[in-house]
Structure 1
Amino acid sequence: MRNLDGYIGSASNPRVKEWAKLLDRKYREREAKFLLEGVHLVKEALEAGWPLEAVAFDEGSGVLGEFEAYIDGERQGGPHWIPVSPEVIMKCSETGTPQPIFAVALKRPPRKESLFGTELGLVAVLDGVQDPGNVGTIVRSAAASGATAVVLGKGTADLYNPKTIRATMGALFRVDVLEADLNELLPEAKREGIAVAGTSLQASKSCYEYDFRRSVWLVFGNEGSGVSAQVDALVDDNVIIPMTGRAESLNVAMAATVLLFEAQRQRMVYTNKTSCPTT
């Protein structure tokens, strides 16, 4: 096996202490690294070719058998595979019953060209969305609906928070996610001829009447207060999601999913695609 390192049993090991610090946002930002917990996320990162520094696994769990294809000596430049004790796994996890494997991943610089380099760009813009689960779900929906990027504005939950990462279910490896000052980026998008749309319960136009067959950025605001006044002033159009049943409103992640998939539907018709893979 390639890159199989020696066993680490103590949670006080200096290397383990450095890994555990990545549970803290300031260390993630300083080191430009983050943790991936669990079989699914580690496999998704490996499949996507995401840069991983190390993969630590509980030697006695048998989990390594699920990853033989990634450590059979045929893949070059892969991560170091490190057998560790359950105590090490626990030290580097936020969950009470962690899975027997985690990876130390490197942050990869986002490609700004994904924002402006596509003829039919579709970008989800988050303005102060604070719940990690909502942010992760929107990233997942963006990847699934063929969006070109997700932009995280000020006050939005950290993409690399373990809760956010779990909510993405690995979709963060499939769509570009960038952090930006929306007060600077949205005017740039408008200068490029990109439509900027938001949602509002007071809007008169249905999202099903809106034209998504062009480059569109969709702005979604804070769970409690919505889009900030500064960002709202940069929105060209607001649309409403019709509800024939009885509910006050939709959760921000649900609203984002509805709009992203309506955009996908219109674009499929526009490009004469009548079917797509399903899950």
Structure 2
Amino acid sequence: MISEPLTSTSNSRVKAWTALLDAKGRKRSGQFLAEGVHMVKEALLCGASVGTIVYDAGRGMPAELEPLLRDSPAELVPASAAVMAKCTGTDSPPPVFAVVDKPSHDEAALHKPDALVVVLDAVRDPGNAGTIIRSADAAGADAVILGRGCVDLYNPKTVRSTMGSLFHLPVLEMDLAEALPKARERGMLLAGTSLQAARSCYECDFTGPVWLLFGNEAEGLSPQTLNQLDLGIIIPMKGRSESLNVAMAATVVLYEALRQREHAAGK
């Protein structure tokens, strides 16, 4: 269904969409924005609850999306360039964005017999959080957990940085003080990066059920989380760098886990 074009930035619907750029607006509505052709395409392909798709009337609906819209119940709304700029969080407004309901995920994926779960402890940069979700998806992780103190999962910058991986695997927001002890009770190995650790990630066994923990950009894992670890790990450094960016570190460890699991499975 195509609605009438929206041209005024003071329109009530435009104001509601603009509010989704703010965490309070997202919490109040239970919705978030997926900006750009790729993100909207992934949302549709993965069956996300897309209520409205807004596109630049002057540029038209992107051709890549048209085949996916034939069976979609989403409302299609053409809008002026001014409206597109008002509702999106980038310097150059995308040609399209979608209003998506926040998904609800159960915790089954966290406790699979061979679960590989990524846990973030107070990772505050949206680019880092989004990139880690993308790497977790690429490495075949079963889920990602964002602990308290992390950036809002549905921050537009975080969503864009996932490059669609947000729609590919469960991403849950949880209290680590409660989640970590329960995970250990279920037999999960809790392994986290620490500059004080003496165990190289290449010497660790990640073939069993494991939760991989990564901490804040400046301070690493919190003392409370460190106390919960079964295994502290470090990525060997051959040069003079003291540490890696948390997203890079997560990617290295995830791909070591993938390598080990592929080898154990004879692939």
Q: Indicate whether the TM-score tops 0.5.
A: yes
Match among 67, 70, 76 for residue 69 of structure 1: 67
Q: Tell me whether 1:209 sits opposite 2:194 in the alignment.
A: no
Q: CA deviation at 1:148?
A: 0.6
Match of residue 193 from structure 1:
187
Match of residue 58 from structure 1:
56
Match of residue 49 from structure 1:
47
Per-residue CA deviation, residues 146-172 of structure 1 (Å, 9 max, x unaligned), is: 001111001100110011011111110
Q: Tell me whether 1:222 sits opposite 2:177 in the alignment.
A: no
Match of residue 39 from structure 1:
37
**SS of structure 2 residue aligned to 1:66:** coil
Q: CA deviation at 1:238?
A: 0.4
Q: CA deviation at 1:78?
A: 2.3
Contact 2:45/2:68 (8 A) holds in 1: no
Between the two proteins, the alignment pairs up a number of residues equal to 267
Q: Which amino acid aligns with 2:27?
A: E
Q: Tell me whether 1:106 sits opposite 2:104 in the alignment.
A: no
Q: CA deviation at 1:71?
A: 2.5
Match of residue 276 from structure 1:
none
Computed over aligned residues only, the root mean square deviation of the Cα atoms, in angstroms, reads: 1.1
**Structure 1 vs Structure 2: percent identity of aligned residues?**
52
Listed as ranges, the matches of 1:131-150 within 5 Å are 131-150=125-144
Listed as ranges, the matches of 1:70-109 within 5 Å are 70-72=68-70, 75=71, 77-109=72-104
Per-residue CA deviation, residues 105-130 of structure 1 (Å, 9 max, x unaligned), is: 100102211111x2210111111011
> Which structure 1 residue ranges, 5 or more long, are not aligned?
274-279
Match of residue 168 from structure 2:
174
- Counterpart Cα distance in 2 of 1:57 and 1:159: 24
- Counterpart Cα distance in 1 of 2:134 and 2:33: 18
Give the alignment's TM-score, normalised by structure 2: 0.97
Match of residue 261 from structure 1:
255
**SS of structure 1 residue aligned to 2:48:** coil
Match of residue 8 from structure 2:
10
**SS of structure 2 residue aligned to 1:5:** coil
Q: Which amino acid aligns with 2:115?
A: G
